Chains A and B, each alone.
Chain A
Amino acid sequence: MAESPLEDQELLRQLSKGNETAFTALYERYQGPLYRFALHMSGNTATAEEVTQEVFMLLIGNPKGYNANKGPMSGYLFGIARNLTRRVMQRSRLDLPIEEEWLDTGDSGFTSDLDVLSELSNTELLEFLRKAVLALPEQYREVVALCDLEEMSYADAAALLECSAGTVASRLHRARTMLKTKLSYQKCMK
């Protein structure tokens, strides 16, 4: 996703002049990552669509809102998407962590043979992992969605989340630990 900032700026300049081709190019470049980020954060396709649409509507309405001196275009767009996702989730009360529910499943029956990789070949466990990510607290879910699922660098994620790269790494480590714990529970439930 690391596109040339100059190219992004030129496209944005053309967009502000009404060049639809430039808008389409920017849209094609960023709609996928933004949509997936919103989807991973909310777990809801309607929310992801709404957020994606809103991000680009803001870009259309105020293309000068982006300041190249403050960072790359991707960071700017993800920042908008992040805020919009939070707002939509607060509005629709979709941000209900299900961690407690899983933790209440009991602590008996852990198996030592955690062959998650082989199990993930089926759709059921893939869906479980998706839910596990959704169940993470927001600050951990963000770093998983950005760094693990969208392959964003720690530095870019740190700039977007307005924290240090070390904090991003720390949160990611903590998030992965929580995911592994959830996978262990899932395995023992089967």
Chain B
Amino acid sequence: MHEIDPQSGEPLKDDVLTVALDRLAASSRQGAPPGVGAELATAFRRHHARRRLVRRMSVAALAACITIVAGLLSIRSPRQIPTKAQPHEVAGSAPAQPVNATSPAAVRAKAVHPSVKHAKGKGATTAAASRREFLALPGYDPAVPAEQLSVVRVQLPASALWQMGAPVSPDSGARKFMADFVVAQDGTPYAVRLVQ
């Protein structure tokens, strides 16, 4: 391609400029000074050292959190006390079966699910049957897993037992009865059976 110089009228060769630019490009083939590369390499190492440190700290923090949560959970869970109660004494989720009230008492038994029979009324169950079977109280929640239930033996006046829903006559007055209560972790009584 040729350009006409408007003032001189002579053609200016495009090749001339191309060669000149080639020479300019060839004369400036330098790159960044070595110092720039060294600084960048240092910055690269520093950046990734920091990144690795942050990652390790994150992992350590996560591990610490998991440990703390596990520790708290283990502290809050009631300690399991060995019981002499026979496994068949309480039937878990099995159908309700009469339970022998004369079996050795378990002051606290963990992971037991009483065979609960819903009371249809305070007078619906005979006293004899109630001495062998647990009767569900109004606070009973079937969704609560058996592992969270405990059996507690207490001795209470008849009136107090009657108020809680136990099958005793309120006329018994101050006479005390021994009863097993199935209680949740928060102390809510779920079921009761008379022992004496």
A residues with CB within 8 A of B: 18, 20, 23-24, 27, 31-32, 34-36, 39-40, 48-49, 52-53, 56-57, 60-61, 107, 110-114, 116-117, 120, 126, 129-130, 133, 144, 148-151, 176-177, 179-181, 183-184
Q: At the interface, is chain B mostly helix, strand, loop or mixed?
A: helix
Q: At the interface, is chain A mostly helix, strand, loop or mixed?
A: helix
Partner among A27, A35, A176 whose Cβ is within 8 Å of the Cβ of B17: A176
Q: Which residues of B, 17-60, contact A by the 8 Å Cβ criterion?
A: 17-21, 23-25, 27-33, 36-37, 39-41, 43-45, 47-48, 51-52
Separation of A24 and B43 alpha carbons in the complex (Å): 12
Q: Does B186 contact A (CB under 8 A)?
A: no
Separation of A120 and B20 alpha carbons in the complex (Å): 7
Given known pairs A49-B33, A111-B8, A149-B28, the reply for A129 and B41 (CB within 8 Å) is no
Are B25 and A20 in touch, CB under 8 angstroms?
Answer: no
Are A151 and B9 in touch, CB under 8 angstroms?
Answer: no
Partner among B18, B27, B31, B40 whose Cβ is within 8 Å of the Cβ of A56: B40
Are A116 and B10 in touch, CB under 8 angstroms?
Answer: no
Given known pairs A57-B43, A120-B23, the reply for A39 and B10 (CB within 8 Å) is no
Are B51 and A18 in touch, CB under 8 angstroms?
Answer: yes
| Chain A residues whose CB sits within 8 angstroms of the CB of B30 once the complex forms | 32, 35-36
Q: Does B12 contact A (CB under 8 A)?
A: yes
CB distance from B34 to the nearest CB of A (A): 10
Are B32 and A32 in touch, CB under 8 angstroms?
Answer: yes
| Chain B residues whose CB sits within 8 angstroms of the CB of A34 once the complex forms | 32
Separation of A114 and B14 alpha carbons in the complex (Å): 12
Separation of A180 and B15 alpha carbons in the complex (Å): 11
